[in-house]
């Protein structure tokens, strides 16, 4: 790669951004949960969760300016909701749950989400998932970066989570961000009685963790472009 190409990679923006989940995102997020965690029962009541003082959800979205146009795998645009066609197709549009129209009538695509609980000085990741067709594009990592940043902001001491012992892919993402296996919850997953690893970071407020975290965030930006991350509403 030439120096020029390298510089261009460095300064370009990532086509996905991060923000807190809004009521209008909950349908798309529920779809992602169904796809990523099909055995989760009962489904998470995401609308209710928006009022849970302990819970926080972040979603990745395609900023409207990008319009998802550069994205081959983007679902087709839904007709404008105010139009006759839009009204006729309301509820029938096959991918409506993934696309939301903001106040300016611009559509937003939600390819992933992360849920967290904050208790005492601990941040607990309850779920992190990216739609299958959007995986491998740095979105899962973006969501995890947002989690750690939000946890630092909320003065959490560490971030913890449970992960299936066979979920090597997710584990490698967590390890990259300093999560280590601290224990096992036997038969934690009731669908197949699989064990869960408890994975926890070191002290996220420490200079050492912050240094490694900043290096990972820079590397993510170098690889995928700079990302816009809004963590609180
Ligand atoms: C885990 C998950 C969120 C990752 O999302 P993603 O957008 O595909 O991940 P990214 O593209 O940001 O990749 C981040 C890291 O994940 C790991 N990873 C991603 N795809 C991988 C693959 N095919 N093989 C191995 N590792 C992989 C790597 O460590 C990667 O970092 P790298 O690019 O520096 O190697 C996604 O696979 C998912 O939704 N899985 C189903 C739900 C799930 O299992 N959630 C975790 C529950 S604890």
pLDDT of residue 63: 85
Q: Which residues contact 232 (CB under 8 A, 6 or more apart)?
A: 20, 150, 153
**All domains of the chain in start order, with CATH:** 3-224 (3.40.630.30)
pLDDT(86) > 60: no
Q: What is the pTM of this model?
A: 0.84
Tokens of 216: 């990972």
pLDDT band for position 11 (cuts 50, 70, 90): low
Alpha helices in 13-101 (DSSP H): 26-36, 46-49, 84-89
Pocket test for ligand 1, best of 141, 171, 196, 198 (most atoms within 8 A of CB): 141
Q: Which residues contact 173 (CB under 8 A, 6 or more apart)?
A: 140, 141, 144
90 CA to centre of ligand 1 in angstroms: 33
Mean pLDDT, the chain, whole residue set: 84
pLDDT band for position 12 (cuts 50, 70, 90): confident
Q: Among 72-86, 92-106, 217-231, which stretch is predicted with the lowest mean pLDDT?
A: 72-86
Tokens of 10: 């460095």
Higher pLDDT, 107 or 185: 185
Q: Which helix (H) or strand (E) holds 141?
A: helix 139-153
Q: What is the pLDDT of residues 126-161, one digit of tens each?
A: 999 999 999 999 999 999 999 999 999 999 999 999
Tokens of 103: 């106040």
Ligand 1: lining residues by beta carbon, under 6 Å: 36, 128-130, 135-141, 163, 167, 169-170, 172-173, 176
- Which residues are part of the catalytic machinery? 162, 174
Q: Which helix (H) or strand (E) holds 188?
A: strand 180-189
pLDDT of residue 72: 38
Q: What is the pLDDT of residues 36-79, one digit of tens each?
A: 999 999 999 999 999 999 999 999 999 865 444 434 334 434 43
Q: Whose CA is nearest to atom 10 of ligand 1?
A: 138
pLDDT of residue 108: 83
Atom of ligand 1 nearest to the CA of 162: 48
Q: Tell me how far apart the alpha carbons of residues 111 and 94 are, in angstroms, rounded to a whole number.
A: 15
Q: Whose CA is nearest to atom 22 of ligand 1?
A: 169
């Amino acid at each position: 790669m030439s120096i020029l190409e390298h510089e261009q990679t460095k300064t370009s923006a990532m086509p996905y951004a991060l923000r807190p989940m809004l009521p209008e995102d909950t349908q798309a997020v529920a779809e992602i949960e169904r796809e990523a965690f099909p055995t989760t029962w009962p489904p998470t009541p995401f609308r209710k969760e928006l009022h849970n003082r302990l819970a926080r959800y972040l979603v990745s979205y395609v900023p409207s300016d990008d319009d998802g146009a550069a994205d081959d795998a983007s679902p087709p645009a839904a007709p404008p909701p105010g139009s006759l066609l839009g009204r006729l197709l309301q509820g029938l549009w096959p991918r409506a749950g993934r696309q939301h129209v903001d106040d300016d009538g611009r559509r937003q695509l939600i390819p992933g989400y992360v849920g967290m609980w904050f208790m005492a000085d601990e941040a607990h990741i309850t779920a992190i998932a990216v739609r299958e067709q959007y995986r491998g594009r740095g979105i899962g990592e973006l969501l995890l970066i947002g989690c750690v940043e939000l946890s630092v902001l909320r003065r959490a001491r560490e971030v913890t989570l449970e992960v299936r012992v066979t979920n090597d892919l997710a584990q490698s993402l967590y390890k990259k961000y300093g999560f280590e296996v601290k224990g096992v919850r036997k038969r934690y997953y009731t669908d197949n009685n699989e064990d869960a690893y408890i994975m926890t970071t070191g002290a996220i407020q420490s200079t050492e963790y912050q240094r490694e975290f900043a290096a990972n965030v820079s590397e993510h930006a170098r690889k995928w472009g700079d990302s816009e991350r809004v963590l609180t509403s």
